[in-house]
């Protein structure tokens, strides 16, 4: 299965939200990274057929999704960022409702619900109202409803938004577990959400793809451009003025600033360090 974007463009009045995007997705996890307003939500809404492109097409195995219609939508699982999910419904009723929207019969829906609530560890709260769920439980509920019907394409919008570190790791592992043989697109501005599970990263800003590739391939661009430098507290304003600073920490000797720069010939003691995707994100998107 191949999901293709062909010259995809979306313009709202005088604002270009997405500009001539061409890309191919095959089974695996893709991290769609970019700051707020980069075009991530627009791209996802075009892929899920919630928006019509101004120009270009979304293709599934070479056929336009506008031609495939319901056949295409049956292959989609979508997890929105918003958690306003019928607070008066129990988890069981909500999942049956979502299964019915996807065209599943009662027996198939029961089997799917049983399987996926176990996967997201919510089988003990099937009768509980969604309004009483914690943020993490709601996110896991949204993952479960996206998986009902075993879709071939999963589109997840900020799946760990607002979660504490423990729940963030739990949700990330769930996504990785559920991703077998599926195209999974995760839109986020949190680099660590996708750094270790994505086979490919797409860095988006201003409606354009800045970079794409495997994490290891992308990080080659920053080889020799990331350092830890030892500075005094009073030097930090100057360091921030001269460099992109991705982290500041302290040890017994003072302040350690992690900087990204094309070259370094300054007065502070330096140590070359291995770059990570957060460094690249900062390098491409500014301070």
CATH for 3-215 (3.30.420.130, 3.40.50.300, 3.30.9.10, 1.20.210.10): 3.40.50.300
Residues in the chain: 287
pTM: 0.86
Sequence-ordered alpha helix ranges (H) in the chain: 40-47, 65-68, 70-73, 91-101, 106-119, 135-147, 165-178, 215-219, 236-242, 277-285
Q: Is 159 a residue whose pLDDT tops 90?
A: no
pLDDT confidence of residue 173: 84
Distance CA 111, CA 121 (A): 15
If you average pLDDT over residues 191-214, what whole number do you get?
A: 89
Q: How confident is the model at residue 282 (pLDDT cuts 50, 70, 90)?
A: confident
Residues 6+ apart with CB under 8 A from 106: none
Q: Is 160 a residue whose pLDDT tops 70?
A: yes
If you average pLDDT over residues 179-191, what whole number do you get?
A: 86
* Average pLDDT in the chain: 89
pLDDT confidence of residue 83: 65
33: exposed, middle or buried (Cβ count in 10 Å: 0-12, 13-18, 19+): buried
pLDDT confidence of residue 228: 93
Q: Where are the domains of the chain?
A: 3-215, 220-285
Tokens of 268: 């502070």
């Amino acid at each position: 299965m191949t999901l293709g974007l062909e010259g995809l463009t979306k313009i709202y009045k005088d604002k270009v939200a997405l500009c001539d995007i061409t890309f191919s997705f095959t089974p695996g996890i893709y991290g769609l990274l970019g700051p707020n307003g980069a075009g991530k939500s627009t791209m996802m809404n075009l892929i899920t057929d919630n928006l019509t492109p101004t120009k270009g097409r979304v293709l599934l195995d070479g056929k336009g999704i506008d031609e495939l219609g319901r056949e295409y939508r049956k292959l989609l699982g979508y997890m929105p960022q918003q958690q306003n999910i019928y607070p008066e419904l129990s988890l069981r009723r909500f999942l049956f409702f979502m299964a019915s929207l996807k065209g599943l019969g009662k027996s198939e829906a029961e089997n799917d619900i049983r399987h996926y609530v176990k996967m997201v560890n919510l089988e003990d709260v099937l009768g509980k109202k969604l309004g009483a769920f914690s943020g993490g439980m709601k996110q896991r509920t949204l993952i479960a409803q996206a998986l009902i019907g075993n879709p071939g394409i999963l589109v997840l919008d900020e799946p760990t938004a607002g979660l504490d570190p423990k729940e963030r790791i739990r949700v990330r592992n769930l996504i990785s577990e559920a991703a077998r043989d599926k195209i999974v697109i995760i839109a986020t501005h949190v680099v660590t959400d996708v750094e270790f599970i994505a086979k490919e990263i797409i860095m988006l800003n201003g409606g354009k793809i800045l970079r794409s590739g495997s994490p290891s391939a992308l990080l080659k661009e920053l080889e020799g451009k990331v350092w830890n430098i030892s500075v005094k507290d009073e030097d930090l304003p100057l360091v921030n003025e001269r460099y992109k600073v991705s982290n500041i920490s302290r040890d017994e000797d003072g302040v350690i600033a992690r900087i990204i720069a094309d070259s370094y010939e300054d007065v502070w003691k330096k140590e070359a360090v291995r770059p990570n995707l957060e460094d690249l994100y900062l390098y491409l998107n500014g301070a």
